[in-house]
């Protein structure tokens, strides 16, 4: 782990892989014009080659180097939200490698809001392809230590930019079709996009894998079983899904919720492990992946999660929890 931006740029230029901090999660970065380096990203992650990568850019002026045409909808979104947790899918230009697009005719682009990432990208003056820096299907990393724990020597350098400010992956909006469509929820909401564009932006509700390959039903999953409940009154309904042996962690926004879960699961009291409450939806997003990792470090058989309300970034937190729970 280092804070040495020069060293990170040198590794990328030489075709190596860098653990790159962004405001959402840490990325496993490769120079986006180097096919060998990009192929190594897939090997290290254990990711199927058909799952496309996001190209990270130093600023909006770089979009024209990657897109076949720059859609009119990009202007207002980039002006308001870049650098920031928004990824746009646009028609790919002829030079974009198939390794990045997974053979599709579109490419995903974003300008991340992290000072170290922007410094690296600015010095490189080019794009960096980066999926989340975890093994395929696992929990995304939100600290440099998470990246080291997941990837060890498979990553050449990890740039330590501190804990990620947002904590869940970027919102992905497809601007390549007849009307903009959200393919993955994140800190930027569909209604925010709608008001910036002055037109309704819908959220793709069908098979995520068809539109954004890699958005599998089972994803972001710790080893422990994830049992999601919406309201405390429902805590009792998970009792039959609690494994017969082992500790059961409880993740919630407030200590009041933790107490209520304990009351609803009286028979399991001696097996419950309270995790530090995460606070509001922003806190939930910020702490989620670290808490899920903690559950595995503690060797818990399961974690019961009281989901935040589906408002703001709470929508994205609930999406990730659903996918983590599908990993059972």
Q: Which of 22, 34, 132, 189 binds Mg ion (CB under 5 A)?
A: 132
For the segment 259-318, give every residue that binds ligand TXA (CB under 6 A). none
Calpha distance 211→118 (Å, rounded): 28
**51 interacts with, out of Mg ion, ligand TXA, none, CB within 5 to 8 A per kind:** ligand TXA
**16 interacts with, out of ligand TXA, Mg ion, none, CB within 5 to 8 A per kind:** none
**53 interacts with, out of ligand TXA, Mg ion, none, CB within 5 to 8 A per kind:** ligand TXA
What residues form DSSP beta bridges with 2?
Answer: 159
Q: Which is nearer to Mg ion, 35 or 213 (CB)?
A: 213
Calpha distance 106→174 (Å, rounded): 9
Q: Which is nearer to ligand TXA, 45 or 302 (CB)?
A: 45
CB contact set of 36 (below 8 Å; sequence gap of 6+): 15
173 counts as binding ligand TXA under rule CB under 6 A: no
Three-state DSSP class for residue 316? helix
Q: Which of 76, 213, 309, 310 binds ligand TXA (CB under 6 A)?
A: 213
CB 29 within 8 A of CB 124: no
Q: Which of 8, 9, 44, 54 binds ligand TXA (CB under 6 A)?
A: 54
Q: Which of 9, 18, 24, 300 binds ligand TXA (CB under 6 A)?
A: 24
What secondary structure does DSSP assign to 97-150, as a single string?
-HHHHTT-SEEEEE----HHHHHHHHHHTS-EE--BSS-TTSPPP-SHHHHHHH
Q: Which of 147, 172, 188, 242 binds ligand TXA (CB under 6 A)?
A: 172
169 counts as binding ligand TXA under rule CB under 6 A: yes
Neighbours of 195 (CB within 10 A): 13
Q: Which is nearer to Mg ion, 53 or 242 (CB)?
A: 53
87 counts as binding Mg ion under rule CB under 5 A: no
Look at phi and psi of residue 130 and say left if phi exceeds 0, alpha if psi is from -120 to 50, else beta: beta
Hey, what are 141's tokens?
């990393």
Neighbours of 35 (CB within 10 A): 15
Residues making contact with Mg ion (CB under 5 A): 132
Residues making contact with ligand TXA (CB under 6 A): 22, 24-25, 27, 51-54, 87, 89, 101, 104, 106-108, 112, 130-132, 169-170, 172, 183, 212-215
């Amino acid at each position: 782990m280092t804070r040495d931006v020069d060293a990170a740029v040198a590794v990328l230029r030489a075709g190596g892989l860098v653990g790159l901090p962004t405001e959402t999660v840490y990325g496993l970065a490769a120079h986006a014009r180097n096919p060998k380096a990009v192929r190594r990203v897939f090997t290290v992650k254990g990711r199927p080659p058909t799952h496309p990568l996001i190209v990270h850019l130093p600023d909006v002026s770089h979009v024209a180097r990657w897109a076949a045409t720059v859609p009119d909808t990009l202007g207002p979104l980039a002006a308001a939200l870049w650098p920031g947790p928004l990824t746009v899918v646009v028609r790919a230009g002829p030079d974009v490698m198939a390794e990045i697009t997974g053979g599709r005719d579109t490419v995903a682009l974003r300008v991340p809001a992290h000072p170290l990432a922007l410094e690296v990208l600015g010095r490189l003056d080019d794009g960096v392809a980066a999926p989340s820096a975890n093994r395929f299907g696992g929990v995304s990393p939100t600290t440099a230590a998470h990246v080291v724990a997941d990837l060890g020597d498979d990553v050449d350098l990890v740039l330590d930019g501190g804990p990620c400010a947002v904590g869940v992956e970027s919102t992905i909006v497809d601007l390549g079709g007849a009307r903009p469509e959200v393919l993955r929820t994140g800190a930027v909401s569909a209604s925010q996009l709608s008001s910036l564009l002055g037109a309704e932006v819908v959220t793709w509700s069908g098979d995520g894998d068809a539109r954004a390959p890699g958005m599998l039903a089972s994803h972001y999953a710790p080893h422990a079983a994830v049992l999601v409940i919406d309201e405390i009154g429902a805590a009792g309904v998970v009792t039959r899904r609690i494994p017969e042996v082992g500790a059961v962690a409880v993740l919630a926004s407030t200590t009041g919720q933790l107490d209520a879960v304990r009351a609803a699961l009286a028979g399991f009291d001696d097996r419950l492990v309270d995790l530090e409450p995460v606070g509001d939806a922003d806190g939930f997003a910020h702490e989620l992946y670290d808490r899920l990792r903690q559950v595995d470090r503690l060797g818990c058989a399961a974690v019961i999660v009281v989901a935040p309300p589906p408002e703001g970034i709470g929508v994205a937190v609930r999406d990730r929890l659903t996918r983590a729970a599908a990993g059972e």
